[in-house]
Structure 1
Amino acid sequence: MRSILPFALALLALPAASAQQQPYAPPKHTAPPPPALTRSTPQEVVQQADGGMQIERDRTATHALAEHRRLTRALGPLLPQRKGVVDAYVLSVGLDSDPVFGREAREAGKVLSRRYDAVGRTIILGGSDGKAPSPLPMGSPANVEAALSRIAELMDEKEDVLILYTTSHGAPFGVVYHDGNEGFGAISPKRLAQLLQAHGMQRRLLIVSACYSGVFVPVLSSPQTAIISAAAADRSSFGCAAENDWTFFGDALVNRALRKPQPLGSAVTEAIAEIATWETRGKLKPSLPQRSIGTDVQKWLAPLEARMPKIATQPVGKPSVDSLQGP
């Protein structure tokens, strides 16, 4: 009789059905914020946001090292500017770990990099796209500051342009950083203005996709600044459910209008009209996206748009307006 021992050993080596790999589940917001935030007055919250407030809790040393390595990989390969060429440096940031923001930040980085000839000069920060843990550094206030500092090392502030895209939940005091139950913070208009001023970044296209993001417009507007927000200072924007591929604003402006070889002003006008149509269909209170195009913007925008690809690319992902139809 043949021994069954080899067969038995082989069976033991097989994974048990109960141990089969489970589908990846992105971080969720299930715990309340730290007491330092919940016990703060509205005035104290504004002061914290103005200081680039960030709180990390229950992080391991291993996570800190891994995040450091992710940031190093993101910042290291950035190309220097080319003398005599108006170069764009793109920073696309998802500040919240809900996958909609990770997906939007990734694709926005691709679209803006292609449109403005910024391949090799693009940094993307953001959480998971919902399919797997993110290989990217998170869009925390500290990482945003590090990315801006790295760009400042390589660009000529008198010649080159910063293109900053941020997507997250928003509040009347700014855009919110929220990574699962571990990371909390915010960046206010005042804080962002201080950072850009410190680096001499006057030539800039700033796109803020968040509720109440109109608060950034009066603070950041200048003759050499183009700034577009997803909503007025007292309005919500829409489409930010975690399972979506895009917010309304990101879908209309980045995924559709900016993929076309048309001027920035025309793209913004198209996107605002599209968003209004979607909001009317959903019987939503209008978000009223805001824009401010400085008087000297064309000096740097014209050479960038002269190098735009002449062929449009197709939108990707599920249209954000589909979320109006419900489950």
Structure 2
Amino acid sequence: MAGALLTVGVLRSGSWPATASHEVAGTTTAQTPAPAGSIAPTKSAAAADPAVATSTASDDESAELDSGNWPNDAPTPEQVFTAQPEALRKAVGALAARTPGKTNVYALAFGGDGSEDVFRNEAEYVDSLVSKRFASPGHTLVLENNPATLTTRPLASWTNLEGAIDGLAKVMDPREDILVVYVATHGGSDHTLLVDMDPIPLDQLDPEGLAQILSRHAFRWKVVVVNACYSGGFIPKLSGPGSLVMTSARADRTSFGCGVDSDITYFGRAWLVDGLNATPDFVEAFGKAKAEIAAWETKDSLQASEPQIAIGNGIEAKLAAWRNSVKAGPAVPFEPAK
């Protein structure tokens, strides 16, 4: 049974205040936790022999325990909020310069929900994968909401996402390089993504908003991955020439593997870890991941999430040219973020 996470979110659409209080309350905004007996990986478990995930996304008490004692512990919510411009400036400043004369890949990882470590784990694994597997250290900018990283990473927020895109545009060659965006969080049936670091008020993200942010600069080549329930609803707004868009579920289906007892989602394990460590080809890795997820869901008697893919004109050839210019490193083992 899918967990239901109830929240009230604000979308940046229309005129304020008339339309600024868009409610997500009552919507299923959760990747579905792995059921009892699931073969999908869970917290403190080896990939080959996972433990049982039993928590639901609405398990407030467990989420509180998992998140430590914040916001009662320092820093305070106001301190975190006011520190964001400097935190983002430092993160952008730490990006490595592009290698001239070749196609570079830069990644932006966004872990949206601060109540579960699973999203932080995936955002930080993207950094490891790009740095080691794809031989591009310093080419990833991580935005994440998690009590453990409030003083070390910029928050995953609408404003920081805009600033991160602006910063990447200054480092990259937008006509030559490839921008990879990986978003992991809970998703609602209305195709709103949960962006939450309670009690800090953060705007929620929808397909129109994400498309608007990505259009701030003319990135010719993009790979956008949305790992959330109902994430197929992002494809119409994000797909197009030069873009590869992948989602963990159909527009009307949930995806699985979140929860406070989980280290990584089904899609995160299948595409990021198993798929991209088997092949540097993003599309081929997606095919492997889709089959792997289907096998897990069949074994667990779950309704198929049916991950989606949209391949725009030219992007496969561009990615092939990039792969030919980069010697892929060894497989990067997945470990939960410390």
Same fold (TM over 0.5): yes
- 2:139 counterpart residue number: 121
How big is the shift at 1:281? 1.3
- 1:300 counterpart residue number: 318
Structure 1 unmatched runs, 5+? 1-29, 47-56, 319-327
- 1:70 counterpart residue number: 87
Q: How does 1:203-282 map to 2 (within 5 A)?
A: 203-282=221-300
How big is the shift at 1:271? 0.3
Which deviations, in whole Å up to 9, do the C-alpha atoms of 1:175-210 show, x marking residues without a partner?
220113333332221122222222001300111100
- 1:135 counterpart residue number: 152
Query: Compared with structure 1, are the counterparts of its residues 114 and 306 closer, same or farther at alpha carbon in structure 2 (3 Å cutoff)?
Result: farther
- 2:177 counterpart residue number: 160
Aligned length: 278
How big is the shift at 1:217? 1.1
1:261 maps to a residue whose letter is T
Relative to total residues, which structure has the larger helix share, 1 or 2? Answer: 1
Query: Compared with structure 1, are the counterparts of its residues 142 and 316 closer, same or farther at alpha carbon in structure 2 (3 Å cutoff)?
Result: same
Distance 2:308 2:18 in 1: 28
Q: Secondary structure at the match of 2:84?
A: helix
Which deviations, in whole Å up to 9, do the C-alpha atoms of 1:30-65 show, x marking residues without a partner?
99647999xx9999639xxxxxxxxxx997542233
Q: Secondary structure at the match of 2:224?
A: strand
Query: Compared with structure 1, are the counterparts of its residues 245 and 41 closer, same or farther at alpha carbon in structure 2 (3 Å cutoff)?
Result: farther
In the alignment, does 2:147 pair up with 1:147? no
Which deviations, in whole Å up to 9, do the C-alpha atoms of 1:292-311 show, x marking residues without a partner?
11220134201221244445
Which deviations, in whole Å up to 9, do the C-alpha atoms of 1:85-118 show, x marking residues without a partner?
1111110110110211111111122113434443
Please point out which of 22, 30, 48 is paired with 1:45.
22
- Aligned residues of 2:102 and 2:325 also touching (Cα < 8 A): no
- 2:41 counterpart residue number: none
Distance 1:132 1:74 in 2: 13
Aligned-residue sequence identity (percent) comes to 30
C-alpha RMSD of matched pairs (Å)? 3.2
Distance 1:132 1:263 in 2: 31
TM-score normalised over the length of structure 2: 0.73
- Aligned residues of 2:135 and 2:328 also touching (Cα < 8 A): no
In the alignment, does 2:301 pair up with 1:283? yes
TM-score normalised over the length of structure 1: 0.76
Q: Secondary structure at the match of 1:45?
A: coil
In the alignment, does 2:70 pair up with 1:93? no
Distance 2:202 2:194 in 1: 8
Q: Secondary structure at the match of 1:191?
A: helix
Q: Secondary structure at the match of 2:273?
A: helix
Distance 1:102 1:109 in 2: 11
- Aligned residues of 1:114 and 1:309 also touching (Cα < 8 A): no
Query: Compared with structure 1, are the counterparts of its residues 157 and 99 closer, same or farther at alpha carbon in structure 2 (3 Å cutoff)?
Result: same
Larger RCO of the pair (alpha carbons < 8 Å, separation 6+):
2
Query: Compared with structure 1, are the counterparts of its residues 276 and 146 closer, same or farther at alpha carbon in structure 2 (3 Å cutoff)?
Result: same
- Aligned residues of 2:128 and 2:332 also touching (Cα < 8 A): no
How big is the shift at 1:314? 4.9
Which deviations, in whole Å up to 9, do the C-alpha atoms of 1:192-234 show, x marking residues without a partner?
2222222001300111100011011122111211111000111
- Aligned residues of 1:170 and 1:211 also touching (Cα < 8 A): yes
- Aligned residues of 1:93 and 1:167 also touching (Cα < 8 A): yes
Which deviations, in whole Å up to 9, do the C-alpha atoms of 1:8-42 show, x marking residues without a partner?
xxxxxxxxxxxxxxxxxxxxxx99647999xx999
Moved more, 221-230 or 57-66: 57-66
- Aligned residues of 1:260 and 1:312 also touching (Cα < 8 A): no
Query: Compared with structure 1, are the counterparts of its residues 61 and 35 closer, same or farther at alpha carbon in structure 2 (3 Å cutoff)?
Result: closer
- Aligned residues of 1:261 and 1:309 also touching (Cα < 8 A): no
Distance 1:264 1:64 in 2: 35
Distance 1:186 1:198 in 2: 18
Query: Compared with structure 1, are the counterparts of its residues 267 and 308 closer, same or farther at alpha carbon in structure 2 (3 Å cutoff)?
Result: farther
Q: Secondary structure at the match of 1:198?
A: coil
- Aligned residues of 1:259 and 1:314 also touching (Cα < 8 A): yes
